[in-house]
Structure formats: structure tokens, C-alpha cells
Amino acid sequence: MYKSIPKWSIPLAVMLLLALVLTACSTPAPAPAPTPTPTPKPTPPVPTPSQPVNLNGAGATFPAPLYTKWFDEYFKLTGAKINYQAIGSGGGITQITEGTVDFGASDGIMTAEQLAKSEAARGPILHIPMTSGAVAVVYNLAGVSTGQLKLTSDVLADIYLKKIAKWNDPRIAALNPDVKLPDTAIGVVHRSDGSGTTYIFTNYLSKVSDEWKTKVGNATSVNWPGDIGGQGNAGVAGQVQQIPGAIGYVELAYAVQNKLPWAQLKNAAGKFIEPSLAATTKAAEGVTLPDDMKVMITNSSNPDAYPISGFTWILAYVNQTDKAKGETLVKMLWWAVHDGQKYVTPLDYAPLSSAAVTKAENEILSIKYQGQPLLSR
């Protein structure tokens, strides 16, 4: 037989069980392991503004006064310094072909041989028009002021061919009955360096004189029949100033700056015209502008055109090898053919027509780096 459990022990057991439960509930639970704080990702550095990229250019003296002004103004706007050496168009063509400058400048169109050489080296070169100007025929004759002397194309060609040697030659006298012409030898001054101004001048003479075309021809540098050479437009202007009886050819701005008198020339329509911005603009009117802008406007048929006028171009490779320099170049060129045109007229150059600007825009937009355009509209 089993013994019965005393009644008093049941409440006691319940109380002991309750005490055990309360004790267990009062024991603090272990603290959870701390969640690790993630390591913050490094913040990428804030890009700093890129430093202005400087460019080097060389070439034509014809637009040098304008380019000096342009590049000074562009530096003030952007901080990009553009170093330009006015060494003549021939030098500019050589340096851009050899890749020693970022751009060249010329008043003459590169020959097929020159273009082939550059294309073999780095691809095609663009001729981007910047402005146009007149080549003034200047002289040093005592008592004969600006515009008083009149010359025809055949007389001018024969002076440079050394077939007319004195100022009182009957052919010059017949054109100038009211001018007292001295019995003085004509000192014929020409450019001694490769020159776009020479290219424009000899292009004109080749159009109006078969003898000149055959014997001398049209180029940035030719075998002159004789007399005195001068380095750059400034050199020719200086020689004419110093030599009594001298005649020479310079870009209009140099004639104005040096206060040299210039001749009136008989144009293709038979009208005597002085070099001026208006007459330069007229020379370009009516000319069909090709997409590559390699066009000469000498001896224009426009009745109000000055006959020795021409464009001047920046020479640039389509395929750029340095992206930063290429971007600086295209932005500068875009500025020059738009905002930069306001500086043209005060310096005695003719602004680009709207048609010429459009052609220039298309050329600038074609400049690339690794196949990608460097500028978009």
C-alpha cells in the first residue's frame, strides 16, 4: 500500500514551483551581439576645373594684326593662351605639315603636293576662312598722295617684270596726266619669305598677264625678276618707306598703320578702285563658295570689286591627336567666326559673309578626336 500525500504538502509544492518560475523569469537574458558598423565608402574627389590649354600657331602675316587682337581677347574670356608667330604663310604651311604647331595660317591655298604630304602624315588639313582683305599696291613718291596714282593690270605686271623701269614711263604717264611723275627709277619691293600675300598678288598677276603666268607663276614664293625683298608685310612696308621711288604690295592694314599711299587699280569691269573693306566684300560677292573654301577671289568681275582681294585661312587637321588641345582649338575657331568678327572691321579686314560663316562652321564641326567630333552645335 502507498502512503497518501499529506494535504498540507500540496500548497507547499505549488509555492516552490512558482518560486522557481519567477526566479527563471527574473534572470536577465544575454545581450545580443552588436551589429558591426559598415565601413564607409571613400567619397570620390570633387573634379577640379580643368586648366586652360595653351595652343601654338604660326603662319601668315596678312592677318597678324587681327589675330593679335583675337587671341588677346580670347585669353581674357577663357584663360587659354594662344601663341602665334607671324612667319609667313609658307612657314605656316611647313610647320602644320610637320606637326610642330597646333594650327597653321595661310593666305594661299596649299598645293596638291603639300596636301598629299600632310595627309600621308596625319590625314587631311582643313582651310577654315577667318576673314578677307585687300592687298594694297603702295608707293613712295614725293607729292603723290593716296589714291592719286592710277595703274592698270598690264602696267603693274610689267613693272614687276622689270619691263617698266621709270616712274615717268609713257604708259604710266598716260594713265596719270594730272600727276607730276619724276624721272626716278622704280624700286620694286617684294616678299622675301613664303607668303600668302604673295600668293594673292601673284594669283592676280597670273590672271591678268600671260607673260607673268608663264615666266613667274602663282605661289607663296616665286623667282622674282629682280630688286628688293622684305620679310613679312611689315618688312615690305618698311622698305617702301625707306626707298624713294619704291613700289610694293602689303595687306591693307599695314598700309594704313604705316601711312603709306596706295594706288587705284583698274578692275576687270574697267573701273579704277581703291582698296577698301567694301570693295573687298564686293570681290567675294557672286563667287560660288566650295565646301572646302579653297577659292580665290582676285580679279573679280563685280564692277565695284577691288581686284587684289583674298581670304585668309586657319589650317587645321581633321584628326586631332590631343583631345584637350583639339577642344580648345575648335572652341576658339567657333568664337572667331562668330563673336570674333566684331573685331574685324576696325582693323581694316572684311567680315565673313553669312555663306562663308556657314562653310566655316561645317569645317569646324568636322574636326575629330579618335573619330568623335570635338564640338557639336
pLDDT in tens, 317-372: 999 999 999 999 999 999 999 999 999 999 999 999 999 999 999 999 999 999 99
pTM above 0.85, yes or no: no
> Measured on CA atoms in the order 354, 197, 157, 254, is the torsion positive or negative?
positive
The residue with cell 516552490 is 16
Cell, residue 177:
596726266
Q: What is the dihedral of CA 113, 90, 230, 184, to 10 degrees?
A: 40
DSSP one-letter string for 246-261: EEEEEEHHHHHHTT--
Angle formed by the axes of helices 112-122 and 89-98, nearest 10°: 30
The residue among 153, 190, 196, 376 whose CA lies nearest residue 294 is 196
Per the DSSP assignment, residues forming a β-bridge with 316 are: 126
Can you point out the beta strands (E) in the chain?
55-59, 82-86, 103-106, 125-139, 150-151, 187-191, 228-230, 246-251, 264-266, 272-273, 309-317, 319-320, 368-369, 372-373
The residue among 249, 60, 253, 258 whose CA lies nearest residue 136 is 249
Proportion of the chain in helix, strand, coil states, percent, rounded to 5: 40, 20, 45
pLDDT in tens, 238-258: 999 999 999 999 999 889 988
Task: Give the span between the Cα atoms of 123 and 374, in whole angstroms.
Answer: 16
Q: Coil, strand or helix: which one is 125?
A: strand
Quote the distance between the C-alpha of residue 178 and its chain's center.
44
The residue among 160, 149, 106 whose CA lies nearest residue 316 is 106
Specify whether the CB–CB gap between 275 and 147 falls below 8 A.
no
Lowest mean pLDDT: which of 51-65, 200-214, 290-304?
A: 51-65
Q: Coil, strand or helix: which one is 56?
A: strand
Distances (CA, A) of 330 to 163, 201, 312, 339: 48, 30, 17, 14
pLDDT category at 50 given cuts 50, 70, 90 is low
Task: Give the span between the Cα atoms of 158 and 28, in whole angstroms.
Answer: 120
pLDDT in tens, 176-229: 999 999 999 999 999 999 899 999 999 999 999 999 999 999 999 999 998 999
pLDDT category at 286 given cuts 50, 70, 90 is low
